[in-house]
Structure 1
Amino acid sequence: MAEVCLRLGEHRDKPIHLVPQAMDVPGPSGLWIKTSRADYIVYQCAGTTPLHQEHIIAHEVGHLLADHPSDEDDDAAWRALMPDIPPDVIRRALRGRTSYDTEFEREAETLASVLLETTVRAQLLTRPGRSPRARRAQTTLGDPVDLL
């Protein structure tokens, strides 16, 4: 997902910064913050697996791709997490998280599934397995898909 975010940021001329953060549980496992200069995806890095972290990032990228409202949280936490972003920018960027509805979450989750499936498929096709059965299965899947 880091590569997808890098390429998507280049395509949009607006970088996507991935910010690993130990987050309180229960609570969100990921947040997307939109600013005029960059997007920030904050994701749970404590007590979760790398695969789950990839899924969290993909879900937040799904919100970004669907142009949903970006996330909201309290100012003190964001100042501690991103001291270089002025509080008024944080407040504007984070307004509306509590208004997320089930439709936004389903849409982000669907996009996350497509992103993850596409990246795994591309990895399998560009890194052939060593066994003849693995190579045959990968060949059957077709050509790699351009992620962007």
Structure 2
Amino acid sequence: MGHGRQIDGLTCAGAVVDKSMLKVVETMREVQPLIPRPWNRERFVAAVGDYRGRTIRLTAMDSPVLRGSPCGVWLVFEEYDQIIYDANTSDYHADQTILHEVGHMVLDHHSCGGVNASLAKLFPDVDIAAAKSVMARSRFEDPQEIEAETFADMLMASAVSRFRKSGSMDDLWG
């Protein structure tokens, strides 16, 4: 036997894997078939919307609150979900931000607070009052944020990164 450790069916070579990371890995495996080859952000988000049974709208916004920020916002409305991200960032960073918010969705995360009326001033083109909930990053060390960022990192490595056509990535993700 090697030096690996068996944790909930996953053998890891010296790594500590907790239930949170197992949840991320399992969810990533479920979502993996939805990734279009070659990568296409809009097709992926549409496929995730179909998978969840809820339309997801992407909104690139030029907002001072998003400018230079590593974060996006996920708004839950009665009929659909909306992801708002910085319109003035690179495609790569936009993908990372969007995949982070998608991570919250597929990992079944929930906002800890209600809809903040001050968001209406930050996003004047969005009907914030109609939103049922808002997921916006408040603390980087929050467990839901860590899960969503790990999910986004894994998906970026699998589908979006410059290594996406490498044999080693195909070997890793199938």
TM-score grouping bracket, smaller chain normalisation: 0.5 to 0.7
Corresponding residue for 2:146? Answer: 106
Q: Verify the 8 A CA contact 1:62 1:109 in the aligned structure 2.
A: yes
More strand by share: 2
CA separation of 1:52/1:27 partners in 2, compared to 1, >3 Å: closer, same or farther? closer
State the match for 2:71 in structure 1: 29
Residue 18 of structure 1 deviates from its aligned partner by: 0.4
Partner residue in 1 for 2:107: 66
Partner of 1:117: 157
Deviations 1:25-55 (A, max 9, x none): 5767300011231110000112x21111111
Q: Please, which of 125, 128, 153 is the counterpart of residue 81 of structure 1? A: 125
Q: CA RMSD in A?
A: 3.4
Percent of aligned positions with the same letter in both sequences? 26
Q: 1:40 is matched with which residue?
A: 82
Structure 2 length normalisation: TM-score? 0.58
Distance in 2 separating the partners of 1:142 and 1:124: 8
The runs of 5 or more residues in structure 2 that have no matched partner are 1-40
5+ residue gaps, structure 1, are 126-137
Residue pair 2:74, 2:136 contacting (<8 A) in 1 also: no
Classify 1:68/1:100 alpha carbon distance in 2 versus 1 (closer, same or farther; 3 Å). farther
Q: Is the 8 A contact 2:85 2:94 kept in 1?
A: yes
Cα gap change, 1:59/1:113 in structure 2, threshold over 3 Å: closer, same or farther?
A: same
Deviations 1:63-120, CA, capped at 9 Å, x for gaps: 112222248542533772224x7x2x32x32388658862111111001012212223
Residues 69 and 96, structure 1, Cα contact 8 Å, conserved in 2: no
2:45 counterpart residue number: 5
Contact 1:23–1:29 at 8 Å: present in 2 too? no
Going from structure 1 to structure 2, the CA distance change for 1:42 and 1:80 (only over 3 Å counts) comes to: same
How far does residue 16 in structure 1 lie from its aligned partner after superposition? 0.6
Greater share of residues in helix: 1
Q: Retained in 2: the 8 A contact 1:69–1:97?
A: no
Equivalent-residue separation in structure 1 for 2:123 and 2:93 (angstroms): 26
